[in-house]
Structure 1
Amino acid sequence: MWQTILAHVQRTLRPHPHFRLAIGMSVLLLLAGNLTWAGDLTKADIERRFSHPYQVQDKLADLPAWPITSALEQHAGPVAYVFESIDLAPLPGFEGSPMNFLVSIDRKGNFIGVELLKQREPVFTFRDLGGKGDSLLREFIAQYAGRNIRQPFLISTGPTSNRTGQPRNHDGVAMLDGISKATTSVRIINQSVLDAAGKVARAKLGFAARNETGRAAQVRPDVYDAVSFDDMLKNGMVGHLRISNAQVEHIFAGTEGADVDERARTHPDEAFADLYIAYLNAPTIGRAILGNAQYQAVMKRNFNQHHLWWIASAGRYPIITDDFTPGAPVPRLAMSQGGTFLELRDQDYEPAVASAPPRLNASRLFGVNATSGMDPGRPLTLHLKITRAKGSVMPTLVSREVMLRYAPPASLFAYPPEPTPEWLLAWKARWIDLAVLSCALALLAMVLARPRRVALDASRLRRFRLGFLGFTLVYIGWYAQGQLSVIQLTGAIKTLHAGLSLASYRCDPISLLLIAFTLITFAVWGRGTFCGWLCPFGALQEFVDLLARRLRIPRWRIPLHIARRMEWARYLVLGILVGAALLLPSQAETLNEIEPFKTAFTLGLERTWPYLAYTLAVLAAGAFYYKFFCRFVCPLGAAMSLGGRLRRFDWIPRRKECGQPCQRCTSACKYDAIESNGAVRYDNCFQCLDCVGIYHDRQRCVPIMLFEKKGKRLERKVEHAALR
């Protein structure tokens, strides 16, 4: 199978010597590249940003972050963490390189600040967005200060802006003002900052990241049913774990702690430990266990809004030891959720339990800080540590643990909706644009599938083509910002070469829909579907040519054999851009400006004069020579031509008289895509459908006119070899 596919690829590509040279250079550059992304700041760099009383500690070995301590709280541990986003969340941007930000969060998960270190996004150069591209990016990231990692973050794309005002919050949601014409890049920035901060929060602050768990479930205070303790055991309101002596022996088997408990050997079925746990904040559970009066008193005492737990034990192994200090953590107990351990602390309160099993040897109230990020509506695990000692003088200690998994009934909680992923927010925000574009693509597909209906009448074809190109220019290009670019190709190569995911491309739904449609059309019609119908800059050149013809500007004529050689320049440009993107990323940003798409559409001509002059020069060249840029320079067109070689059908009809001797279509083709022998050169075809209309038109097709005059029947030629 693979041999067949490889043979087909070799047959379809058939590269020209100049093209082989360009591809060879690109391959060498790809092999030579060893692309890695990592932060490069040192401890001294961080110290310049944090002055007294703050002290920067050495970078952690297990996490690329610098702890920040305070001379005012010498025994409090780190009060903040500082880290580079590229070390923790190297999400590739539109250009393919991750942006890098210096992020600082305090021990409660609040953002202290976000500082721009490095970025290569095309839209955020200092000269773009009216000369404020870089400053607008800095204003955007300044909005994170004071927000908390546990908050849901939403990016507003409305016309109002609040970048220089106070941070806005709505119903606990952090609202960030976006940047017009940079919506995709802004979403990638937000995801990078939150992902990086979330990883530090999980590892060092003891709570789960916002973007992984969403907002925690809330207790429903209006839900209360009188239940017995036995009923709570059955319905899961009270978690229970019984472990026998034999089970404990089993978990210590093969260790130094095996066979040291005489009673365990003689009474294997006896309960070693009976462990109970219940979440008291839920009124049904809390009132059933504590009684109404004590429940009210406990909740009034809980002014810090801790998550409160009743944990009790029976059997030989109590949860607390004789030297236990009330109000401190309990060495034998630990609690975790989602792989993150929570700080479970005794509340210095031994409740008078109204409903509980008899013979308890310990019954205590425990609390988990409200800022821990714990979600009481999700399953959690209570760990009971069991330690055995072998020997009497210098005993060998061996520890094992048993786990009780506990999840209160969902009916006791109100569950907020899961946070919507950034990419899905982008798709929802643009559903109207996606619907309009989908209808346009469906219409185009129907026309190309049955081109005769539109192409037979020259005036009808002209009206349809100009109307669709007007839609491409205005709606896809300027309004929807859907101009595809070679930057997306080189960016994808850089991202994959670095071993990263292309998931960030999902944040640009318009481009993604166009890319998907174009990839499908490669196999059916070739490169011409995009270049001839869906490229906004190609459409702009079409209208420039129409204006030039109205103004009677003379059209240049380049000898065909010279033009054929000049066409290979676009492949050379493509190879240089791919290689430069990997080895010379800073210079590649400038080299990518060979495409005037950014100036013409992304920034709407709001650029400094050199870029405007270049764009106008390219358009002027198109006024003198039809689609000059597309045919001789465009690297995206070169990539489209390569993709077009996947075409499986010679869909443009030909007759044996085409080119032998009839030259009607050859002379009419403005793209020089039809050879003198009548064969179609699909690499050059932009699918204008003129030749399709001529082929079926009895008033324009010379062979039809002649043969009808002579009364002979025509046959469609199927053996013509189409040129790639």
Structure 2
Amino acid sequence: MRFYISAVDKNLITILSVFLTLLLSVYVQLTHAATHTDNQSTAAASTGEQSTLNKDTLPITALFPKNTRIGDKQTDLPVYPVYQLDQLLGYAWLSDEINDLAGFSGRPIRLLIGLQADGTFSKVIVIEHHEPVFLHGLGNEALDQFVAQYSGHSIKQQVIISSAQKNKAGSGSAGAVFFDGVTKATISVLIVNDVVLSTALQVARDKLEGFSLPAQSALLEKDVEIMDWPALLSSGLVHQWLVSSDEAFTSLGRKYSDYKHLFDSNDDPDSFTELYYAYLNAPDVGISLLGESAYASLMADLADGDHLIWIASNGLYRHISDDFMPGTVPSRISMSQGGLNTEIKDTNTSAELKNIVAKNAPEFSESSIFRIKGISNFNLGGETAIKLNINLPRNHLITDSLALTDHYQLPKSHWTAIEVKQQTATPLWLRIWLDRIPQILTLVISLIILITVFIKQDKLSRNAVRMHQFRWGYLWFTLLFTGYYAQGQLSVVNIFTLLHAIKDGFDLTIFLLDPVIFILWIVTFVSLFIWGRGLFCGWLCPFGALQEMASWCGKKLGIKQIRIAENKHRKLIYLKYPILLGLIAVSFYELSLAERLAEVEPFKTSITLVFVRHWPFVLYALALLVGGMFIHKFYCRYLCALGAGLAIIGALRRFEWLKRIPFCGTPCQTCHHRCEIKAIKRDGEIDYNECIQCLECIVILNSEDQCADTLLKRKKQNLINSVNV
């Protein structure tokens, strides 16, 4: 190392010194934070001594402060009954003993959950987890605050995880319960919510009165009868619920004039809500309302056991708000059976499929088709409670809330009772993929475009202007969509997860929990054998795009670029390999320590958390970007452990796509001097372990005004032509 430092110039020594100082500061900060967390929270990253977790060591008293006795763990279901004298207060259990769903880190999130005898959560405590975004990013306090939201809420209530909606709807007293979803930790909190609700429902149905599985029904097989709108209403196949303004405003204790500013002046002030409800799976209903082709299309896309509900509305207060996002759970309307909430989710169906074709049907201001998952055990023939959650802000400080309930039951002529059967839960990873279909499609389309450009790089690079425009457009897409919006920043921590999964028993579902990361890893891994590390490092890495932009800003600001000598550069590029190997070695010694040391990557700070973090982390990330304004992609070239890992696998590539000609390197040095990442050697050879495939050398090679070989040939041809003349 002494030899390397003595060989570099003073500017590089200064930059490396600043980097090492900041890295030490970050490590000290992380060590302090980790120690503080261990002392203050039970969510330490792990002792793994499950045998010591029993009714004497678990903080069950914190769940039920009034308890006088904690029973032994039951054998049929691993729960601890908790009593006050002889009165049952509720049950406590460790989540992973009932549902050991792996977290985003690849290990289960262990929770201690308390459920009172009436089905209300007493408290949820985090016992152990390994989620990096909390441990070494947002802090364990953020996870503790998230699980604290379950206290006092019943498993009968509808839980909606959405920070924005929570702020709009207030306390949720009108029906829907809004939980702050913890921005930047979406996957982790979805896993926590799935574990809490699924285990609580299982305990409630097994141990508590009033929570047994509801009766089940099936549609009767009968000839389809096409009916017009009046017939659908009179037969009860379409349910109508009318709420007058007088009824609604009287219940609120207010007048129409108090909320006049919220409504369209063209709406009838006497009609608060006209709501229509229908069970679409019934052929008589679906075909009569939507037509045969639309009904067939909807049923073809419906999973076994799932149900479709059509809801439409008119009036001042419709069933969905103006800012409702298609494909999500509505906040204004909810459903329940037997006191248990039944989640309905918008199918984001096209307007053509929702078009009502029944004769004499009225026009509807809003029309939606919602899906009920089979896991909900929805009884199509049972009585359904439809709740309208009303939240009307009088001003920016005061919001009036009211919940109105109506009931509906499909006519007995259309269903028959069947034996109760528990539906198999849809895997969480599949639910996440279905929820993120727009993101997935956008990412896949962008990857297809990029791969097409790489395959046709020789042809497309002939137009230098358009090629440069495409590259910069794609870098902005990578930063804003892939990075900040879809959170698609790969990390060396993902390598830890993969290696430990191979060691402990590979489980693909761990990696399927984040579809964006999964797709990027698959594409990146395959591309390593074709193009090397360049596809990811040069085009798909959000922080790499940010570095490229920092370098551009540095040039525009007139900052003098530091050109590192070739022999020094060739030595410095190997710094990232011992960083990678050291992190991997530490991960097998103590994973939590390796995750803290992985903060050598600025990805979490700059991309995942968008610089909203403790100052040492932010200063470190900014220092690397500032360094990149002096030395092009400084971090990528010398310090990126992820890039080192990709380069190792990329060394197995079978192709060399970047075109070279005999003139390259001997004597032409244009590409060598223009390559900002210094991946082209003096002899013209391309170092694919360092190349980010920016394709600038191909643009130069195909340019009649830049390639020295082309210019020389044209000059000779012109000379020959002049002689002939």
TM range (shorter): 0.5 to 0.7
Kindly indicate whether residue 426 of structure 2 is the aligned counterpart of residue 423 of structure 1. Answer: no
Offset from partner CA, 1:269-294 (integer Å, 9 cap, x none): xxxxxxxxxxxxxxxxxxxxxxxxxx
Residue 136 of structure 2 contacts residue 596 of structure 2 at CA under 8 Å; is this kept in 1? no
Q: CA deviation at 1:515?
A: 2.0
The structure 1 residue matched to 2:53, chosen from 41, 44, 61, is 41
Distance apart, 1:152 and its partner CA:
7.7
Aligned to 1:412, what secondary structure does the other structure show? strand
Say what the alpha-carbon RMSD is for the aligned residues. 4.0
TM-aligned CA deviation for residue 101 of structure 1 = 1.3
Once residues 448 and 656 of structure 1 are traced to their aligned partners in structure 2, the CA distance between those partners, rounded to angstroms, is 23
8 Å CA contact retained: 1:187, 1:507: no
Aligned to 1:119: 129
The amino acid that maps onto 1:508 is D
Q: Is the 8 A contact 1:88 1:195 kept in 2?
A: no
Please state whether the residue corresponding to 1:553 is helix, strand or coil.
coil
1:80 to 90, 93, 100: 90
Are positions 1:456 and 2:456 aligned together?
Answer: no
Map of 2:573 onto structure 1: 567
Partner of 2:249: none
Q: Residues of 1 paired with 2:96 and 2:687: CA distance? A: 46
User: What is aligned with 2:416?
Assistant: 412
Conserved? CA contact 2:628–2:635, under 8 Å: yes
* CA drift at 1:417: 9.6
Q: How is 1:28-177 mapped onto 2 (pairs within 5 angstroms)?
A: 38=50, 40-45=52-57, 46=59, 48-49=61-62, 50-60=64-74, 65-73=79-87, 80-106=90-116, 110-125=120-135, 128=138, 133-145=139-151, 155-156=161-162, 158-161=164-167, 165=171, 169=175, 176-177=179-180
User: Secondary structure, in 3 states, of the residue corresponding to 1:682?
Assistant: coil
Indicate whether 1:630 and 2:642 are aligned.
no
3-state SS of paired residue (1:114): strand
CA contact (8 A) 2:99 2:199 kept: yes
1:527 aligns with 2:527: no
Give the counterpart of 1:657 among 663, 677, 685: 663
Change in CA separation of 1:146 and 1:47 when aligned onto 2, cut-off 3 Å: closer
| Residue type at the aligned position of 1:139 | Q
1:445 paired residue number: 451
Q: Secondary structure at the match of 1:144?
A: coil
- TM-superposition CA deviations, 1:58-111 (whole Å, max 9, x none): 3456765433244234xxxx7633222244434333334432211123467653
User: Structure 1's 597 and 158: CA in aligned 2 closer, same or farther, altered over 3 A?
Assistant: same
The residue aligned with 1:680 is 686
- Give the deviation of 1:198 after TM superposition: 6.0
The one-letter code sitting in structure 1 at the alignment partner of 2:71 is Q
2:549: which partner in 1? Answer: 543
Within 5 A, what are the aligned runs for 1:3-18?
none
Closer, same or farther in 2 for the Cα pair 1:163/1:411, shift >3 Å? closer
Could you tell me how far 1:469 is from its partner in structure 2? 0.9
Q: Equivalent residue of 2:113, what SS?
A: strand
Equivalent residues of 1:524, 1:649 under 8 A apart: yes
| Uncovered stretches (5+) of structure 1, i.e. residues with no partner | 1-33, 224-372, 379-408, 713-724
For residue 189 of structure 2, the aligned residue among 174, 186, 189 is 186
Provide closer, same or farther for how the CA distance between residues 512 and 163 of structure 1 changes in structure 2, counting only shifts above 3 A.
farther
Structure-2 separation of matches of 1:42 and 1:163: 40
Q: Is 1:509 matched with 2:512?
A: no
**How big is each residue's C-alpha offset from its partner over 1:622-673, in whole Å with a ceiling of 9 and x where there is no partner?**
1111111111111111222133234221111122332233322222211221
Distance 1:427 1:506 in 2: 8
SS at match of 2:490: coil
- Offset, 1:499: 3.3
Checking the alignment, whether the CA contact within 8 Å between 1:126 and 1:135 is kept in structure 2 is no
Corresponding letter in the other structure for 2:104: F
Q: Which stretch of the first structure deviates more once superposed, 609-618 or 587-596?
A: 587-596
Shift of 1:159: 3.9
Q: Distance in 1 between matches of 2:49 and 2:658?
A: 48
Residues 501-556 of structure 1: CA distance to partner in whole angstroms, max 9, x if unpaired? 34243332222222222223223222101110111111111111111111221222
**Paired position in structure 2 for 1:671:** 677
Query: Shift of the alpha carbon at 1:201?
Result: 6.1
Correspondence 1:479 to 2:485? yes
Task: Report the number of matched residues.
Answer: 486
Q: 1:206 to 1:514 in 2, by over 3 A?
A: farther
Please tell me the residue identity of whatever aligns with 1:453: K
Q: Is the 8 A contact 1:36 1:498 kept in 2?
A: no
8 Å contact kept, 1:487–1:592: yes
Q: Secondary structure at the match of 2:126?
A: strand
Separation in 2, partners of 1:221, 1:454: 60
Amino acid corresponding to residue 99 of structure 2 in structure 1: A
- Report 1:261-410 matches (<5 A): none
Provide the rounded CA distance (Å) in 2 between the counterparts of 1:684 and 1:708.
33
2:370 corresponds in structure 1 to none
Q: Which residue of 1 aligns with 2:707?
A: 701
Q: Which has the higher contact order (CA 8 A, sep 6+)?
A: 1
CA distance in 2, matches of 1:120, 1:579: 18
Bigger mean CA deviation after superposition, 672-681 or 545-554:
672-681
Indicate the residue corresponding to 1:619 in structure 2: 625
Could you tell me whether the CA contact under 8 Å between 1:188 and 1:504 is conserved in 2? no
Scaled by the length of structure 1, what TM-score is found? 0.59
Secondary structure at 2:56 match in 1: helix
2:364 alignment counterpart: none
Cα distance in structure 2, aligned partners of 1:601 and 1:216: 49
CA–CA distance in structure 1, aligned partners of residues 671 and 549 of structure 2: 22
Q: Letter of the 1:119 partner, please give it.
A: H
CA contact (8 A) 1:80 1:106 kept: yes
1:66–1:82: 8 Å Cα contact kept in structure 2? yes
Structure 1 residue matching 2:108: 3-state secondary structure: coil
Alpha-carbon distance, 1:593 to partner: 1.3
8 A Cα contact 1:522 1:646, kept in partner: yes
Q: Summarize the Cα distance change of 1:632–1:88 in structure 2 as closer, same or farther, 3 Å threshold.
A: farther
C-alpha distance in 2 between matches for 1:178 and 1:476: 20
Equivalent residue number for residue 216 of structure 2: 217
- 1:606 to 2:612 alignment: yes
Amino acid at match of 2:216: A
Residue identity (%): 35
- Determine which structure has more spread, i.e. the larger CA radius of gyration: 1
**What amino acid sits opposite 1:44 in the alignment?**
D
Q: CA deviation at 1:614?
A: 0.4
Residue 657 of structure 2 aligns with an amino acid whose one-letter code is W
Distance 1:494-1:84 versus aligned 2 partners, 3 A rule? farther
User: Could you tell me whether the CA contact under 8 Å between 1:477 and 1:536 is conserved in 2?
Assistant: yes
Q: Write the distance in 2 (CA, Å) between the matches of 1:86 and 1:491.
A: 19
Aligned amino acid, residue 458 of structure 1: A
C-alpha deviation, 1:447, in angstroms: 1.0
Task: Find the partner of 2:646 among 640, 644, 659.
Answer: 640
CA distance in 1: counterparts of 2:192 and 2:414, whole angstroms = 35
